[in-house]
Every structure is written in C-alpha cells, then in structure tokens.
Structure 1
C-alpha cells in the first residue's frame, strides 16, 4: 500500500476506520505467525511423543524376556 492510496483512503473513509483496519491487519499477521510457530511445535511434540511411546513399548516387550533369563540362570 503506497502513501498516496493511504492518504486517499483516509480522506474517503475517515481516520478511525483506516486506523482500525491497519491495526486489524497488523494483529492478524502477528496471530498467523504465532499460529504457524505453534503448529510447528505441536508437530515436533507429536514426533517426540511417538518416539517415546515406541521406546516404551520396546523396553516393555524386552522386560519379560530378561526376567525369564534371570529365572533360568
């Protein structure tokens, strides 16, 4: 948005409305950036939790076998 169109918009619509639109655009841009960051963090959390669950299941499946070896020995 160039300066001439901004001045024309202020003259046609009024200062409060233009200021509200500029603030709304700024807030929406920041909100979208925060949501993108949150989405990335949630995806990383999902990967981490899946890895944790796989590791837990692998260690849980090995535990009974190890107990049987100790009882036999």
Structure 2
C-alpha cells in the first residue's frame, strides 16, 4: 500500500478505521504464510506416516513368513 492510498483511505473512512484495515491486512498476510507452512508440514507428515505404515506391513509380512517356515 503506497502513501497516497493510505492518505486517501484516512480521508475517506477516518484514522481509526484506516489503521484497523491496515493491521487486518498485515495479520491476514502473516496468517496465510503460516497456513502455507502448515500445509507443507502436513504433507510431509502424511508421507512419513505412509512410509512407516509400509515399513511396518513389510516387517509383519516377513515375520509371518518366517513363522510359517518354522512350523513346516
């Protein structure tokens, strides 16, 4: 937001309302950045959990096969 736009905003709606709008805009920008970061972290967490599940399933399958061989 440039200086001329801020002066025009203050002239149109008054200083307190203009200040609130500027603060709201900055808060929303920070919030959106945080949400983007959380989305990336959740995607990574999802990949990690899927990898752990596959590893667990593989180990369980190998254990079952070994037990079946021991019984025979």
Taking structure 1 as the reference length, the TM-score comes to 0.88
Is residue 67 of structure 1 aligned with residue 71 of structure 2?
Answer: no
Deviations 1:36-70 (A, max 9, x none): 00000000000000000000000000002222444
Deviations 1:12-35 (A, max 9, x none): 210010000001001100100000
Q: Distance in 2 between matches of 1:8 and 1:16?
A: 14
How far off its partner does 1:71 sit? 4.9
Further displaced range: 44-53 or 6-15: 6-15
Q: Return 5+ residue gaps in structure 2 as ranges.
A: none
Is residue 52 of structure 1 aligned with residue 24 of structure 2?
Answer: no
Further displaced range: 45-54 or 1-10: 1-10
Q: Distance in 2 between matches of 1:34 and 1:11?
A: 33
Q: Return 5+ residue gaps in structure 1 as ranges.
A: none
Superposition CA RMSD, Å: 1.3
Query: Where in structure 2 are the equivalents of 1:1-73 lying within 5 Å?
Result: 1-71=1-71
Taking structure 2 as the reference length, the TM-score comes to 0.89
Q: Distance in 1 between matches of 2:28 and 2:5?
A: 21
